[in-house]
Structure formats: C-alpha cells, structure tokens
Amino acid sequence: MSLLTRSLQALGLPLLCALLWWLPAGTAQAAVSCTATMTNLAFGTVELVNGATAAPTIATLNYNCTNDSTSAIEQVRVCFNIGDGNEGLGNFNPRVMENTAGNQLRFQLYQATSGTIWGSNGNAQVPNPFVVTMSIPRRTTAGGLGRVTGSTTMRGELLPLQGAVPPGSYQDNFVGDHTSITLSRSTSAMPTTCDTIQPGRFAFLVTATVAKSCLVTADPLNFGTVNGLPGQADRDQTSTINVTCTTPTPYTVALTPSNGSTTGAGTMTPTGGVPGNADAVPYRLYRNAARTAIWGSVTGTGGNVATGTGNGAAQALTLYGRVLGTSANVRPDSYRDVVTVSVTY
C-alpha cells in the first residue's frame, strides 16, 4: 500500500480530491524520452527562537532528453512535477517536514530565484511544474541519439515565526509518486501541454535540524532619584527579563553584578559626574515581590537562580531590586552598575 493511500484513509477524503496532480492517460512515445535527477535540499542546523528563519537553500535538477528518430527534429515540452512528499500528508502551501514525534516544520519550494512555487500539473494549490521547451535533433546516421541536457535550481525556504517548533531532525522525502516527468512532442509546432508520463522520477530529500536555543533580553533596572540623607527607607523598583527558548527546553537564568557576587548583592558606583567621588550605593536583586528570595548565580540544590521551560514564545521574568536604606548619606551623583544575565539550557 503506498503512502498516498494511507494518507487518504487517515484523512477520510475522496480519492479525486486528494490526488497530488492530475495527469491525462497516454502511451509512451518511443521517439522521445526524458530523465532527471535532483540533489537533496538540506537546511542544516537552524535556530528559530528569534522569529527569524534560515537562509534559503538550493538544490539542482539535471535533466537529459533524447530523440531516437532518424527522420525528424522533435519539438518537446517537458514538465517536472513535484508533490507533497512522504511526510507532507497533503500539505502543499506550505509544505511540511516532520520529525519522528509528528511535529511539523513548514517550508516551501520555489523555481530558481523566482517567487513561483514549484508544483505539478492539475494541482489547484500549487499548479506550476517546472517547464522546459526544446527542439531535440534527430538521431545521427552513426546511431547517436539526438540529445538535449540542462539544469535548473530549486530554492527552499523555511517559513518565519516557527519558534515553537521543538528541537530535532525533520524531513520530507520526495520519493515514488511525489515526483514525475511528463511531456508532449510534435514534429511541427511546440506543444502547449505535457500529457505523457515518463517512467523516470527525480527523488530527493528535504531536511533540517532545529537546534535547542534560547534568546534573552533585559530592561534596565532604574531606581530613579534616591534621597541621600541618613535614615531613608529602602527604595524598591522592578525590571523585566524576557527569555525565549525552544519547546520544551528547560533553562535557568543567573544574575551576576560586576563585583562577582553570587547572591545578587551588587554595588553601584559613580559615573564621573562629581570629581573625586568614591561613594557607592549597594543594592540587592530578588526573584519575588516580598524580596525574600535572592536572585544570584548559584545553581543546583539550594541554588538562587530563576528557572523555566521554553515554549517558543517570550517569557517575562520580573526582577525585583532594592537599594538599601543604609546606603543613604552618599554624595549626590549618578550611580550605575552592570549585571550579567546568563541563560543556561
């Protein structure tokens, strides 16, 4: 039983509606034949969490058409048809790759550098096969076949905004009936259709590996204007750290002030506005609003880092900061520190 038949049963669709393409019945023309090969199309390892996509990838079709007639030059129109692939399951626009768990990665195939999707005769979704017209010389008196060869490229592109696709290896195998060559021939005018099925195929494989990855951004933690007189209360402010990781990637977020503290205890120093100022403003970083769970860089049992599991979307983590009231009685100036945000996954 072919994959196409299994797909039809699973979808419960009428056979007529699910055909990859419609090809008129016809007998092979003995005088002219065409064969072709297609190289595999490999996207390699891609990272998708930033909403972008991989660079376009190219495969090459090489074709060879021959004429064994000794009496006439043949005018030939050849169509190279591409369907949905073994893992495509009826998806043409976009096409899909799958991993072993059934997760899907969307992509599309185009003709060379154009925006024309490479499809097949009679397919309503992608109706454009790659078409070549040629005049094939007659067979020579020495017995050599008339021949025309050529090549073209197929461009593959991953669709953007697939950050939720789980890491792993994906493929779509265009084997068997998922490719075909059809042609029409004439000894006078160039044909306008491709009606006769050729026995050859041009099988190829589309592959990609989605990498486990994370992306992090952080807003500044700005305490604003702090009263520098002695006996002032603690000054609290918050910030947001956004973490985007592939599904379902566990991650930890560690914070390290410039003094190297592993417990989120940093010190802001003057920015140079007041010459000779050597005062400092201590602060603390926390994971909760009550400011009882410190946010530092210690991992493992008893650690003080934030944790989460990626879902392909940005996850907002609130950072709770505090300038300690005991830091009052410092000289008026602007103070700052740099905190390193480290994501481990």
CB-based contact 150:133 (threshold 8 Å):
no
Q: What is the pLDDT of residue 15?
A: 27
Contact between residue 117 and residue 107 where contact means Cβ atoms under 8 Å apart: no
Per-residue confidence (pLDDT) for residue 45, from 0 to 100: 95
Question: Would you state the pLDDT for residue 144?
Answer: 84
Put residue 300 in one of left, alpha, beta given phi > 0 → left and psi -120 to 50 → alpha: left
pTM, two decimal places = 0.78
50 neighbors 120 (Cβ within 8 angstroms):
no
| CA-to-CA separations, 208 to 75, 137, 184, 306, in angstroms, rounded | 40, 42, 36, 32
Burial-class residue 7 by CB neighbours within 10 Å (0-12, 13-18, 19+). Answer: middle
Task: Give CA separation, 337 vs 223, 260, 267, 269, in Å.
Answer: 12, 12, 7, 7
Residue 126: which of 14, 20, 13 has the closest Cα? 20
- Is residue 194 within 8 Å of residue 77, measured between CB atoms? yes
Residues of the chain where predicted confidence (pLDDT) is lower than 50: 1-29
The per-residue pLDDT for 22 is 39
Q: In the chain, what is the straight-line distance between the N-terminal and C-terminal CA atoms, in Å?
A: 43
In whole angstroms, what is the distance from residue 24 CA to residue 15 CA? 16
Q: Are 251 and 315 in contact (CB under 8 A)?
A: no
Q: Within a 10 A sphere around the Cβ of 292, how many other Cβ atoms?
A: 9
* Model pLDDT, residue 328: 62
User: What pairs with residue 335 in β-bridges?
Assistant: 270
Q: Give the pLDDT of residue 19.
A: 33
pLDDT of residue 110: 98
Give the model's pLDDT for residue 264. 96
